[in-house]
């Protein structure tokens, strides 16, 4: 049996500098496309689990993205908040890189959400 994937273009590496994030809509989902300081790209649901704030507007450091609402920092790999007030994780989606293209599969998550 072959696993089906549905990666779609979400942006380009050349337009997403390390340490930055941006909001994109892929497959009808708003995503925070975030590139950590080492250059790895992550795709998280672009809504804080605490309230209606876009995570893509937050600062990235130490492998986390900070919500400007109340300061919870979400791990870019697991989607889990490192501190209160957020308690619940946010969805993290699979990312592939093809040349300069950033591809995201919104049909499944990496953290079971």
Q: Is 45 in the site for ligand FES (CB under 6 A)?
A: no
Residue 37 or 83: the one with the smaller Cβ distance to ligand FES is 83
State the number of CA atoms in the 13 A half-sphere of 22 facing the CB.
13
Name the one residue in this structure whose structure tokens are 């050349």: 14
CB of 63 to ligand FES, least distance (A): 18
Contact with ligand FES (CB under 6 A) among 67, 102, 103, 104 = 67
Distances (CA, A) of 53 to 45, 61, 67, 71: 11, 18, 7, 11
Q: Interface with ligand FES by CB under 6 A: which residues? A: 48, 50-51, 53, 67, 69-70, 72, 85-86
């Amino acid at each position: 049996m072959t696993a089906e994937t549905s990666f779609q273009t979400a942006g380009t590496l050349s337009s997403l500098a390390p340490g930055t994030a941006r909001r994109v809509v892929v497959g009808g989902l708003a995503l925070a496309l975030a590139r950590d300081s080492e250059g790895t790209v992550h795709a998280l649901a672009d809504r804080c689990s605490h309230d209606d704030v876009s995570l893509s507007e937050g600062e990235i450091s130490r492998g986390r993205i900070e919500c400007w609402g109340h300061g919870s920092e979400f791990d870019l790999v697991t989607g889990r908040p490192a501190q209160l007030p957020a308690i619940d994780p946010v969805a993290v989606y699979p990312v592939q890189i093809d040349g300069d293209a950033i591809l995201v599969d919104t049909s499944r998550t990496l953290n079971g959400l």
